[in-house]
Amino acid sequence: MGRIKEKFRELQEKNKAALICYITAGDPDIEFTEQIINCMEASGVDMVEIGIPFSDPMADGPVIQAASERALKNSTSVSDVLSLVSRIRSSSDIPVILFGYYNPFFSYGTERFAHDAREAGADGVLVVDLPPEEAGELGVHIEREGLDRIFLLAPTSTEERIEMVLENASGFIYMVSVTGVTGARPDMNYDLEDLVGRIKSRSDVPVGIGFGVSSARQATAIASFSDAVIVGSALIRIIEDGGTQRQEVLENISSFTKEISAACLR
């Protein structure tokens, strides 16, 4: 059983939704990314999504765009991120999902990427701009290496598209909470419950919800009807606000993730 599946099973026994946290690798440098991941794991984060920075992050709001720009200032590459995963894996079993836009993966080579990602100890891959229609050329290698293929679904997704995504997805489904780009929002659309219900009536693949989660109150609401709460921009903002005060950033991330993690208990 893969680490992602294993983790969901373990959390089900605890009656807790998974807390999945996103950070952009190399923001502001890859050593700090590693410290943040260790800190998050110690604070109750169940899985990490490591973002590979891209020059043109079309589906991201200003917070993650800025994180990408900071990470690219020191040329954080796919190779750097894979080495980071190896280092994390040497001391931890936390499930790791690699998250990014297709061009850096394509440029690295799809077969080589899938092979090296598995070697490094990654568990799943989510490529934002690869809908099922285009996902084949990377997906075939990802599957061969036994990694999970994680896909997005949106409130605008039709029944037809839900079917298509479910046919291809493993690990979990990343449900985008709103029509829009990434970014913390005070209010979220709770019609999602219905959408999650429709997905769950057709498939056993867990469903996580992200794009806009920034408070314990939201996390509690989401945890009540989905399998995972995904947090991104809210964390990036802590990193951004902290600037060079790294110890303070780690403390703030720790207290924020502890609070959200507690809110994920049903």
Q: Which of 65, 170, 214, 226 binds another protein (CB under 8 A)?
A: 65
**Cα 152–chain centre separation:** 11
Catalytic residue among 49, 80, 123, 227: 49
Dihedral over alpha carbons 100, 104, 112, 5 (to 10 degrees) = 0
Do the Cβ atoms of 124 and 98 come closer than 8 Å?
yes
C-beta closer to another protein: residue 12 or 107: 107
**Residue 161 within binding range of another protein, rule CB under 8 A:** yes
Catalytic residue among 60, 123, 148, 227: 60
C-beta closer to another protein: residue 88 or 181: 181
Stretch binding another protein (CB under 8 A), from 41-49, 51-59, 229-237, 254-262: 51-59
Stretch binding another protein (CB under 8 A), from 15-23, 125-133, 202-210, 226-234: 125-133
**Residue 39 within binding range of another protein, rule CB under 8 A:** no
Q: CB of 175: closest distance to another protein in angstroms?
A: 10
Concerning whether 49 is annotated as a catalytic residue, the answer is: yes
The sign of the torsion formed by the CA atoms of 27, 154, 45, 221 equals: positive
Distance CA 107, CA 95 (A): 25
Taking alpha carbons only, the member of 147, 56, 132 closest to residue 98 is: 147
Do the Cβ atoms of 126 and 153 come closer than 8 Å?
no
**Residue 189 within binding range of another protein, rule CB under 8 A:** no
C-beta closer to another protein: residue 57 or 232: 57
Q: CB of 165: closest distance to another protein in angstroms?
A: 7
**Residue 103 within binding range of another protein, rule CB under 8 A:** yes
SS3 265: strand
CB atoms within 10 A of CB 34: 16
Concerning whether 248 is annotated as a catalytic residue, the answer is: no
Q: Which of 6, 10, 31, 56 binds another protein (CB under 8 A)?
A: 56
- At position 246, the amino acid (one-letter code) is R
Q: Which residues of 93-119 are buried (b: 16+ CB within 10 A; e: fewer)?
A: ebbbbbbbbbebbeebebeebbebbbe
Which residues here bind another protein, judged by CB under 8 A?
Answer: 54-62, 65, 69, 72, 75, 77-78, 101-108, 128-131, 133-134, 151-154, 156-158, 161, 165, 176, 179-181
Question: Catalytic site residues?
Answer: 49, 60
